[in-house]
Structure 1
Amino acid sequence: MEDNYAKILRDGYGIRFYSGMRARTGFVAKTDRGLKEIKKTQRSMAEIVFEHKAKEHLYQKGFQNIGRFCTTVEGSPFFTLDTVQYTVEDAVSAQPMDESKEESFLKGAEVLGELHQASAGFCCEEKRSNLGTLPKLYERRKNELMRIKKNIDKKSSYNPLDLMVKQNFSYYIEKTDEALSLLLSCGYEQAIQRAEEEKVLCHNAFKGDNIRCMESGELHITGFEECAYDTPLVDLVSYLRRFLKKTDGGVGTAEEMMYRYHEKRHLSKQDMNIIVGILTYPDKFMRLCNEYYNKRQVCISPAVRERMEVCIAEKEKQDLFLEEFRKIQWKFS
């Protein structure tokens, strides 16, 4: 296999391969141009090009602590070997950010604001967009849940997951309806129009190993595979959810996260209303139902059962957080 990596570097990039080792995300090679990480990808060429152009735009706009693709001798962001695409990046010495600390999320919110602000004005022919998809997604997930409940009611016996869905069905339907109503009444369509005019990007995986801390203390951002045009509020809500999942922090830290983000990219009262609407949607429960019931699994794995139990157990905590979070939305103008 090392012969393949040597061939990729030599033929594709004009780089001399010395030695290498497997890493969790790819293959790290020692070369005459420093350490390089080679990754095999199943994505389409258009998707790779979109990611490459997005990262180059960010870099040119000053958001430079990111994993950029090395380009081949022909100027391509990938090299094809035996019909398979490979990308090459500079290997960076950095550790995943400690998500058990609230301070980490404050710094992360600030960097996320910088990322979104730098992404504005990005133009690309290989357009990848999620603009305006949330209302349709909520409606589709609601209909799926209603169908799941109907099928469960037809059963002669229930498994543990069936019982959890039956017992919590009304709550999650109401939450979905509330989220949909909030989105449609608080200016979501205007926010989408504004994002489309601004040509701003969402990272869509701003979490975990994609946020790495360098020795300098600065954050290095990777994992742009899913980046797409959308309102940046989607990223911000996802990061808030991550904060709630990984820490015991409360609304005070969440408020500070909003201010840190706001210092880099303006948040309006309308934006805060939309954030509340997206936060109201029971994303985790709906995803778990979709994951289990749409795969027609014969039995429930202990992991799926535990994830659903944890999700339902967090209802009260999330409702209390949202109730308090609503009080800070009026502090933004």
Structure 2
Amino acid sequence: MNDRAVALLEQYEIEVLRTRKGRGAILCDTQQGCLIFKEYTGREEQLRLQEQVLKHLEDCGNISAERLLATREGALSVTDRDGVRYILKTWWEGRECNIRDREECMEAMRLLAGLHKDLEFIPTFPEMEGIPTPVIRRFLPSREYEKHNKELKRARRFLKQRSQKTWFEIRLAAVMDPFLEEAGQICEEWKKIENSHDVEAGETFCFCHGDYQYHNILRQDRGFFLVNFEKCQADGPIRDLYLLLRKLLEKSDWDCNRGEALLAAYESVRPLNPFERQDLFYRLSYPEKLWKIVNFYYNSGKAWIPEKNQEKLDRLLEQETARKKFLRILRA
């Protein structure tokens, strides 16, 4: 960020004592504590939703999370003369959640369950007064993964037509068919379950963080502090639970004992209903890690393929047996 961006802070009702760089943004020491000023590329509607979600959390008083600050005129973002938008939020100095610490990860799971319990609400907007709030339907992940399947098939065709292949491309082409077959079967089963699950009016509704992973769970002496709610959305709790659980299991080579302990920690605060458990099973069953590897490869230059690609593919294949074992336990 440049000095022009820092000058935008004058639009806020704050007194900046000092600024410093941090986490791809500007950290501001103020009389109100530490704030973070960062670029924002999302929609204004998303910002308004984020503000309501964070205000609701603050009112509940159970979880420490960031808070959006408005300008003197009440705007949630400011724009420089080049059209770049910025937002200002509260911030805690702290470290990321330690993924190697079993107890800390279980605590992060319990915190997530508490977050979901607090976010069982439907926001309202002033300009919608008198207009019935529509029933917000649960996000259907099978649609997203159908798109992933098409991308995998496109990459497979490309690999088959490529005459001279690197070792990574040879290895990838050799394993894609089984994964793609599995992905297609999972999507078909998933759609049948989603179609049979009717979201009734009045069913408990929950927002999710949208990007609940250890990077966004900060630890300090005072406890955990949740940040980066820019992706919060109406998708139900399993989106968050799946993301964190998958990340932690990949880091532990899909250790079944650890996976069961993490899930039990979440359910000690907020038990899963049968549909949510099925939802979690199918999200974890989909070979998303392979899709990410393929997507990165297919959309990058082919003249030089990073060695990291091969390492990620090897690790994925090494973990496949353990992943399948955990899925069997989850479905039992």
Distance in structure 1 (CA, Å) of the matches to 2:6 and 2:160: 59
Post-superposition Cα deviations, 1:146-185, rounded to whole Å, max 9, x if no partner, equal: 2322232223222223212321123202321342244234
Q: Which residue of 1 aligns with 2:27?
A: 28
Structure 1 residue 201 corresponds to structure 2 residue 200 = no
SS at match of 1:228: coil
Deviations 1:257-309 (A, max 9, x none): 22322233231233222211111100010122122213454331222232222
Structure 1 residues 249 and 136: alpha-carbon distance in aligned structure 2, compared to 1, 3 A threshold: closer
Counterpart in the other structure of 1:290: 295
Equivalent in the alignment of 1:331: none
Distance in 1 separating the partners of 2:88 and 2:236: 30
1:3 positional shift: 4.9
Aligned to 2:131: none
**In structure 1, distance between residues paired with 2:14 and 2:316:** 49
CA displacement 1:33-85 (0-9 Å, x = unmatched): 33322212233333322222221122223344001112221222223332332
Unmatched tracts of structure 2, length 5 or more: 129-133
CA contact (8 A) 1:179 1:278 kept: no
| 3-state SS of 1:314 partner | helix
CA shift for structure 1 position 194: 5.8
- Residue 276 (structure 2) pairs with residue 271 (structure 1): yes
Give the conservation status (yes or no) of the 8 Å contact 1:106–1:260.
Answer: yes
Letter in 2 for 1:101: D
The one-letter amino acid of 2:97's match is M
Query: 2:160: which partner in 1?
Result: 153
What whole-Å deviation, never above 9, does each CA across 1:67-124 have from its counterpart, x for those lacking one? 1112221222223332332222233122211111221221111111111111111325
Which of 225, 237, 246 is equivalent to 1:241? Answer: 246
- Evaluate the alpha carbon distance shift between residue 282 and residue 2 of structure 1 in structure 2; reply closer, same or farther with a 3 A threshold: closer
- Aligned-residue CA RMSD in angstroms? 2.8
2:187 is the alignment partner of 1:188: no
* Structure 1 range deviating more: 218-227 or 139-148: 139-148
Aligned counterparts of 1:4 and 1:275: Cα–Cα separation in 2:
46
- Tell me, in whole angstroms, the C-alpha distance in 2 between the residues paired with 1:112 and 1:92: 18
Native 8 Å contact 2:27 2:34 kept in 1: yes
1:105 matched to 2:122? The reply is no
Contact residue 178 and residue 280 of structure 1 kept, 8 A: no
Q: How many residues align?
A: 323
Q: Which amino acid aligns with 2:217?
A: I
After TM superposition, give the deviation of residue 132 of structure 1 in Å.
3.2
For the 8 Å contact 1:182–1:274, the answer to whether it is kept is no
- In structure 1, what is the Cα distance between the partners aligned to 2:104 and 2:137? 28
Q: TM-score, normalised by structure 2?
A: 0.86
Cα distance, 1:243–1:192 mapped onto 2, change above 3 Å: farther
> What percent of counterpart residues are identical?
20
Residue 189 of structure 1 and its aligned partner are, at CA, apart by: 4.3
Selected match of 1:144 from 151, 154, 177:
151
Matched letter for residue 52 of structure 2? K
Inter-CA distance 309–252: structure 2 relative to 1 (3 Å threshold): closer
Mapping of residues 218-237 of structure 1, within 5 Å = 218-237=223-242
Could you tell which deviates more after superposition, 164-173 or 130-139? 130-139
Please state if 1:211 is matched with 2:211: no
- Which amino acid is 1:156 matched to? S
Asked if residue 302 in structure 1 is aligned to residue 307 in structure 2, the reply is yes
| TM-score normalised to structure 1 length | 0.86
Cα 1:231/1:14, change in 2 over 3 Å: closer
Mapped contact 2:254–2:323 kept (Cα < 8 A): no
Shift of 1:249: 6.6
